[in-house]
Structure 1
Amino acid sequence: MWWPAALAASVALCLGVPALVASGTSASGTVSAAPATDSPEAGFARDMATHHQQAVDLSFIVRDRTSDGAVRNLAFDIINTQANQRGMMMGWLDQWGLSQSSQAKPMAWMKMGHEYPPHDGSLMPGMATNTQLEKLRGLSGREAEVAYLQLMLEHHKGGVEMAQGYVDLASNESEKRLAQSMVIGQTSEIKLITDMLAERGAKPGS
């Protein structure tokens, strides 16, 4: 039942060593130029790292708010998968000599033609607000499970959109493979989470 998250984690781990090498060295052994600070490579790494951190935070919250094995297993998988991927992206920025934060607006690198209005701590599509996080901290049992699953469903939808946006613009093959693994893993989990909500008599966003 939990193979999608396990697959994503496995893919990310397999990418680890070659990704760190390939980010600065081409197949011929020559050193490639580091991405510019306003490049899709740097922007995606920064923004997805921020997006991932909230998924980890949400999962730690629900882990302590329910004893349900299925939800705790999902939370555990998300914590491990996304913390690992976040570490890889932070490592790339460090290797490129770039800061882990930027003055640019979130997702500006995607050139989508529209802007997401940050509000109440929600910086990008799918991110929960501070109010929603605080509410989750005050719930327990089934109520916490449903709230977490609803928030994580939207979080994954936003994550898939951003990861696919980078895949479409990518010039760094290692980072592109990582983004593709995010699209595959989180798309599978969207179906899983939807099913888990139905099992609890709940609907997305309700």
Structure 2
Amino acid sequence: MRHLGWIAGGAAAVLVAAGAITYAVADGDDSGTRAPAADSADAGFARDMAVHHQQAVEMSYIVRDRTKSTEVRRLAYDIAQTQANQRGMLLGWLDLWELPKVSADPPMTWMGMGDMASGKDGSLMPGMATNTEMKRLGTLDGKQAEVFYLQLMTDHHKGGIHMAEGCVEKCTVGVEKRLAQGMVASQQSELDLMAGLLKQRGAKPRD
């Protein structure tokens, strides 16, 4: 039954994303009539945050099956649904702008960080988990899975907030800037929640 709930949530995410895309078209002079350039901050943020969000969704689905904690499962569900919805918006805007979803430039070039964004072992941008960390999360259960997920997601949110703040500063499409500002606020709130959940488990965020 819980599995069906997550599937239903995924279907809802598609509908929400479709509505957001329609809103973007209708957003007057900044989203529907002037498409940003392929190398703009608007396009770069949409591409990079879509990738960043996808990993958060994957991590949340992994921990869902590794813990029975209602609090952690609820947080994971909220993160998965919110970030899947937002990812749909970002990719939808790239479609509307007729821009590629993949760039030959390194991630975060639009922020002036293209030479330092990519890390090792599959970590493409700041905050993203490595391939090894993702595999490890899938081997843990119970409290160990909860703590590691919360630590990984804390790092992930910090990287996401940094990128979203970059869009608030550099993006020119109004609806996208507003989405980025909303990401900053919501992910900061979740950082506070995750710090409390880690403390309850005798753990803390990674340095």
Give the TM-score of the pair, scaled to structure 2.
0.87
| Equivalent position to 1:26, from 23, 26, 29 | 29
Q: CA RMSD in A?
A: 2.0
Say which is worse superposed, 117-126 or 138-147, in terms of deviation: 117-126
- 1:200 corresponds in structure 2 to 201
Structure of higher RCO (CA pairs closer than 8 Å, 6+ residues apart) = 1
The structural deviation recorded for 1:19 is 2.3
Q: Which string of whole-angstrom CA distances, capped at 9 and with x for unpartnered residues, describes residues 154-185 of structure 1?
A: 00000000000110012100000000000000
Letter paired with 1:159: G
The equivalent of 2:127 in structure 1 is: 126
CA offsets per residue over residues 26-70 of structure 1, 9 Å max, x none?
A: 17xx96321111100100000000000000000000000001000
Cα deviation 1:55-95 (Å, max 9, x = unaligned)? 00000000000010000000000011000000000000000
Residue in 2 that maps onto 1:56: 57
Counterparts of 1:15-164 in structure 2, within 5 Å, are 16=20, 17-22=22-27, 25-26=28-29, 32-112=33-113, 115-164=116-165
CA distance in 1, matches of 2:100, 2:56: 22
In the aligned structure 2, how far is the partner of 1:93 from the partner of 1:171? Answer: 14
Give the unaligned 5+ runs of structure 2.
1-12
Q: What does residue 5 of structure 2 align with? A: none
Please tell me the residue identity of whatever aligns with 2:29: S
Q: Does the aligned pair in 1 maintain the 2:106–2:115 contact within 8 Å?
A: no
Alpha-carbon shift at residue 113 of structure 1 (Å): 8.3
Structure 1 counterpart of 2:23, one-letter code: P
User: The residue matched to 1:62 in structure 2 has which SS?
Assistant: helix
Residue type of the partner of 2:96? Q
Aligned residue identity for 1:188: S
Q: % of aligned pairs identical?
A: 55
Q: How far apart are the structure 2 equivalents of 1:26 and 1:98?
A: 18
Could you tell me how far apart the structure 1 residues matched to 2:59 and 2:32 are? Answer: 39
- The change in CA–CA distance for 1:96 and 1:113 in structure 2 (over 3 A counts) is closer
Q: Which residue type is aligned with residue 168 of structure 1?
A: E
CA shift for structure 1 position 112 = 4.4
Question: Residue 26 of structure 2 contacts residue 32 of structure 2 at CA under 8 Å; is this kept in 1?
Answer: no
- Code of the residue aligned with 1:79 in structure 2: it is A
Letter in 2 for 1:152: M
What is the TM-score of this pair, normalised by structure 1? 0.87
Residue 173 of structure 2 is matched in structure 1 by 172
CA distance in 1, matches of 2:154, 2:176: 24
Distance 1:142 1:179, change over 3 A: same
Aligned length: 191
